[in-house]
Amino acid sequence: MRTHALLRAAVSIAVSMAALQAAYPMEGIRSFTAVYSIDSMGIVTATDSIVVHAEGIKIRHGIFRDIETTHHNPWGVKRNDEFRLISVRRDGHEEKHWTEEFPRGVRLYIGDEDRSLPRGDHDYQMVYQIKGAIRETVDGQECL
């Protein structure tokens, strides 16, 4: 008898959790794609697309993206590649953003600290260039 009661309780909790999850979709990154092109001068142009689902739990005002621009060459010498931001968009429209340096590169913050992000899916697109991302090695050229 007690086993049946525990089993019913467990099934009830599982059904409730499934209903709760359907009512409140999981917040987080849905997809991430990146397209890179390299010109004859070795400048890399990157287009990153990140689709997130926001519920206002952790994603409240926007997202951030870390872009590494600091590397060490084969001889251990530290080098910083030049970073240039071209555009930042959310759902097809220009979006407020700012950058800060961190030890390995640049952190790009996208969103408005004073405005809450509407719940649902949002498509962020960042276009930027990195100059110096191609380096010479003993075997030829390498993209960092």
127-136: per-residue pLDDT in tens? Answer: 999 997 777 7
Would residue 41 count as lying in a domain?
A: yes
Spatial distance between the Cα atoms of 75 and 68, rounded to a whole number of angstroms:
19
Note whether 86 and 67 are within 8 A (CB). Answer: no
Would residue 17 count as lying in a domain?
A: no
Residue 20 has pLDDT above 60, yes or no: no
Would residue 114 count as lying in a domain?
A: yes
Residue 14 has pLDDT above 60, yes or no: no
Would residue 14 count as lying in a domain?
A: no
Over the chain, what is the mean pLDDT? Answer: 83
**Pairing of β 70-72 and β 78-80:** antiparallel
| pLDDT at residue number 124 | 98
Would residue 100 count as lying in a domain?
A: yes
pTM given for the model = 0.75
Would residue 13 count as lying in a domain?
A: no
Q: Which residues contact 138 (CB under 8 A, 6 or more apart)?
A: 74
Picking from 95, 94, 71, the residue whose alpha carbon sits closest to that of residue 82 is: 71
Residue 53 has pLDDT above 90, yes or no: yes
74-96: per-residue pLDDT in tens? Answer: 777 777 889 999 999 999 999 99
The number of folded domains in the chain is: 1
Whole domain around residue 88: which residue ranges? 27-143
- Would you list the DSSP string of 84-133? EEEEEEETTEE--EEEEEETTEEEEEEE-TTSPPPSEEEEEEEEEEEET-
Would residue 132 count as lying in a domain?
A: yes
